[in-house]
Each structure stands twice: as structure tokens, then as C-alpha cells.
Structure 1
Amino acid sequence: MNAYFVRKAANHEVVGLFVASSAALLAAVVDECCDPSICDYALAPMGGLMVAAVTRARWPFAADDADQTGLEAAVLSQQWQDDLCDADNRLEWRSLKPAALRLLRALEKRPAAKESAPHGKSGADG
């Protein structure tokens, strides 16, 4: 598994920090919030998000607390702060579009799920 920083290619707007085992799966996760074909990604080196202040959030959280991730006031580790700094430009950003297109092609090739009658029944009258 790898962690990835993701941004929109046109204006470098932050999309998020994601964990995936491949660029194609990264595209699938990014697709939950925006079109991955308009995004860039960079492999996130060692670092993290830290909750620097006291939080009421607990993990695992209750279903009714799902809107409180515990990361609302999170800050970047010094390593990630340095890596994401404009002046240093340490990260190698790549387009996520090729991976998004591979994912789409793979989904298009998948056979449609077959509908079957429940066990012990056959035909329309069961």
C-alpha cells in the first residue's frame, strides 16, 4: 500500500490524501469525490497528519458520529509540510488520467452479473 497526495491538475486545488495499492485503485477511490482524470498525484513519503489539539473524536466512532473524523483540526507532519512547500517542489506529480482510463476499460470488460433464481426455484412461477 502507498499513500498519495492528490490535487486537481488545472489549479492545484487539494483533493485529498489517499491510500491505495495501485494508481488504478487510487483512481477508483478519488472517483468518490471528483473526476480522477482531471487530477495529479504524488507518492507521499514518510509523514502524516497529526491531531495537535484535544479532540472529542474516538476511533472507532459510533455511526451517529461519522461526521466527526477526529482529523478536523489535523496538521501536517514537518516532513509533509516540507514536501508540499512550493519553494522546494520535492514531489513528482503525475497525471491520474491514464490510470483512470485503465480503470474504465477494465470495468467495461467485466461481464455483467448474471441474474439467477433463488436456490430451489426455477422459472417465473417458482
Structure 2
Amino acid sequence: MQTYLVRLNEAQHHPREIVGIFAASSDEHLADMIDECCDVDSIEIADLGAGGLYWSGPVEVTLPLTYDSETGDGLRLPPDPSISEDWHQIFYDADTFWRALEPV
């Protein structure tokens, strides 16, 4: 399983805007997940490797999260996560290698 940082590509109205972080077992699996939120042709990806997000203080959220299917309440993570040192360079380095997701 590989982890990817996904952003909008340069042809979009908000280029380089973060779409999300995804873990996928194949490009087809990744494309299916991205397709839930945007057009796969509108994004580019960078391999993340080991690392993660964390909250450095209390977040007052317990797992499992609750979910109300009628209102959609409960689908949000706590605000203000920090990026692990392993991912820091990928998020902040202009030389990070970004590539289009090849059609499957």
C-alpha cells in the first residue's frame, strides 16, 4: 500500500490546492478514491512514504467517530493537525516530484 499527497494541477482554477492524502493498493484504487471528490484528470500526485498527521494537544474526539447518515454529522476530523517530520519536506519543498495519475 502506498500513500499519496494529491493536489489540483496547474490547469485548474485553484492550481496546487490540496485535495487530500490517500493510501491505495494500486493506481486504479487511487483513481476510484479521487473520483469521489474531483475529476482524476484535474490532479497530480506525490508519493508520501512513511509519515503522518498528528494532533499535539487534546482534540476532544474519541474513536470510533459517530456518524448521522441523515445530516452527515461526524465526518470531520479534528482541526489543526501537524505534519510529521517525514512528510514535512514533501509539503514544503518546491522540488517535490509531482506527476499526473496515469489513466487506468
After TM superposition, the score normalised by the length of structure 1 is 0.68
Give the gaps of 5 or more residues in structure 1: 103-126
Question: Rg larger in 1 or in 2?
Answer: 1
Counterpart amino acid of 1:46? Answer: A
- Structure 2 matches for 1:1-126, cutoff 5 A? 1-10=1-10, 11-64=15-68, 66-70=74-78, 72-87=79-94, 89=95, 91-96=96-101, 98-99=102-103, 102=104
Instruction: Identify, as 1 or 2, the structure richer in helix.
Output: 1
Percent of matched pairs sharing the same residue: 33
Count of aligned residue pairs for this structure pair: 96
Q: Separation in 2 of the partners of 1:68 and 1:57?
A: 10
TM-score (norm 2): 0.81
Q: List per-residue Cα deviations over 1:44-89 (Å, max 9, x = no partner).
A: 121110111211111111224523423x2211112211222235x2
Unmatched runs of 5 consecutive residues or more in structure 2: none
| 1-structure distance, mates of 2:22, 2:75 | 18
Higher relative contact order (CA closer than 8 Å, sequence separation 6+): 2
Computed over aligned residues only, the root mean square deviation of the Cα atoms, in angstroms, reads 1.6
